[in-house]
Amino acid sequence: MHELSLMDAVREQVLEQAALHGAGRIDAITLRVGSLAGVEIEALRLAHEVVMADTIAAGSRLEIEAVEAACFCAACEQPFAARDGCCACPRCGRISRELLRGRELQLASMDIA
């Protein structure tokens, strides 16, 4: 379950940010997760509970902002939704080589006290 190692990296990042801001508690963590990131959301939630135990983030809410994949068609000069990871432009049928979004796994925000 690579979600455990991913959440371990998130823990390091949020604890570092909390220390920089003098926080005594982390109430919520918001992550942006792309549809092509290869992350199981429920496994990430379980990993959050395990990894944040015994830290100032224990009991914090994990909020997920889903990011749908999108590509850019150079021929049409337009972005398009890359449903199911398909990179064929729905207008002209050409395969896009430019993924605009969808692989994210980013710390978007955190609520601290």
Return binding residues for Ni(2+): 2
Amino acid at 94: R
Structure token digits, residue 69: 């994949």
* Closest of 98, 96, 106, 40 to residue 67, by C-alpha: 106
- Residue ranges for the binding site for Zn(2+)? 73, 76, 89, 92
In this structure, the dihedral spanned by the alpha carbons of residues 44, 45, 46 and 52, taken in order and rounded to 10 degrees, is 100
Give every CB contact of residue 2 below 8 A, 6+ residues apart in sequence: none
47 HSE (CA, 13 A, CB side): 17
- Residue ranges for the binding site? 2, 73, 76, 89, 92
